[in-house]
A and B are shown apart, each in its own frame.
Chain A
Amino acid sequence: MAKREVPEINAGSMADIAFLLLIFFLVTTTMDVDKGLNRKLPPWDDSPDVVESVVKEKNVFTVLLNSQDQLLVEDEYMDVRDLRAAAKEFIDNNGDGTCDVCRGTGDPKSSDNPIKAVVSLQNDRGTSYEAYIMVQNELVAAYNELRNELSQRQFGKPYNDLGTDAQKFVQEKYPQIISEAEPVNIGG
């Protein structure tokens, strides 16, 4: 009996099918990776009574942002471009000399040490989101730069490349303390 030949399947349209799938995926999917500033909110507290503040005035770095997106830092008008440097100077001040890794000037009117230093941010209800994020970004950047500088001096590589223990060490030297007050409505 003659061997019957199996007819070959025409694969010519395979490319078309694959193209169709490809275009489907191109249309329905997005490539953007989600990135952003990570912040932690304070837990909700029902009691409205004011807690007596135990933080010394000189250990607080006050940042106010009004409805015109203008910045008032430590009772002085400031451009957002200078905020990062000012925040770094405040955190790294080392007024009481207990911080062994700080390189600040030790100004007695500024913060005692990075562990006690608190950055306090208050915005208006009329502040734009863009300005708010910019200020948040600068404050986080100030901490990140200090951590990076310390890690370069101590370990010779950037903070992100450190091991878990070393990162913890740097974090303990420069804890990120940014406190946010509830927004006020002053500037309409």
Chain B
Amino acid sequence: MGKIRKEKSKGTPPLSTASLPDIVFMLLFFFMVTTTMREVDLKLIMKKPRATEVQKLERKDLVTYIYVGRPKNTATYGIEPRVQLDDQLATVDDIQGFVVVKREEINEKERPLMTVSLKADVNVKMGFIGDIKQELRKAQALKLNYSTNPAADQEDLFRTL
């Protein structure tokens, strides 16, 4: 009675890649859940200031963004700080209308909760920011959030001084 012996295969068996799609899908879902779509195409140079007492912005659908900084394309737009609303560069006078339009998009009950997030560059002068704040006051958009990058603590914040 002879045992039937299998031919010993030489070399390592090929690695099964059957679970590769599963792994990749897992990664895919992770990124889909944790990230958000890029809202606008930024046309300005913007380095946000840092602060320690930051609060998270809840309810993204109630937030309107205003970007302030020097234009990236200096040949066309010059080097003076500009305002960007949605995808285009605008002037300070356009802010009031823009905010009103954005407020109309929110359902009536939640309109008082609308927040304006001001994303401004560190080098912009306060005169310009002040003008924007006046426009926001005129538009009755009184909830303002100065967008900042979080710093770990006070020490960390003053290191750049």
**What 0/1 readout, one digit per residue, does chain A (15-37) give for beta carbons within 8 Å of chain B?**
10111011001101111011111
Let me know if A137 is at the binding interface, CB within 8 A: yes
CB atoms of A183 and B37 under 8 A apart: no
List the A residue with the shortest CB-CB distance to B54: A35
CB atoms of A126 and B125 under 8 A apart: yes
C-alpha gap A12/B21 in the complex (Å): 9
Q: Given A11-B21, A14-B21, A43-B140, answer yes or no on A35-B56 (Cβ-Cβ < 8 Å).
A: yes
Let me know if B129 is at the binding interface, CB within 8 A: yes
Q: How many A residues touch the partner, as a band?
A: 35 or more
Q: Given A29-B38, A44-B140, A129-B123, answer yes or no on A37-B148 (Cβ-Cβ < 8 Å).
A: yes
C-alpha gap A141/B154 in the complex (Å): 10
Let me know if B138 is at the binding interface, CB within 8 A: yes
Q: Given A29-B36, A37-B148, answer yes or no on A127-B56 (Cβ-Cβ < 8 Å).
A: no
| Shortest distance between the CB of B18 and any CB in chain A (Å) | 8
CB atoms of B145 and A39 under 8 A apart: yes
CB atoms of B129 and A29 under 8 A apart: no
Within 8 A of B (CB), among A143-161: 144
| Shortest distance between the CB of B55 and any CB in chain A (Å) | 5
- Give A contacts to B, CB under 8 Å: 11-12, 14-15, 17-19, 21-22, 25-26, 28-31, 33-44, 65, 80-81, 84, 123-130, 132-134, 136-137, 140-141, 144, 182-183, 185
- Give B contacts to A, CB under 8 Å: 17-18, 20-21, 24-25, 27-28, 31-32, 34-38, 49, 51-57, 60, 63, 115, 117-118, 120-127, 129-130, 133-134, 136-138, 140-150, 154, 157-158, 161
Lowest 3 CB-CB distances: which A-B pairs, in order?
A125-B127, A29-B35, A130-B122
Task: Jot down 19 A-B pairs with beta carbons below 8 A, ordered by A.
Answer: A15-B24, A22-B24, A22-B27, A25-B32, A30-B36, A30-B38, A37-B146, A39-B144, A42-B142, A44-B138, A80-B158, A125-B130, A129-B121, A129-B124, A129-B125, A133-B49, A133-B146, A137-B148, A183-B127
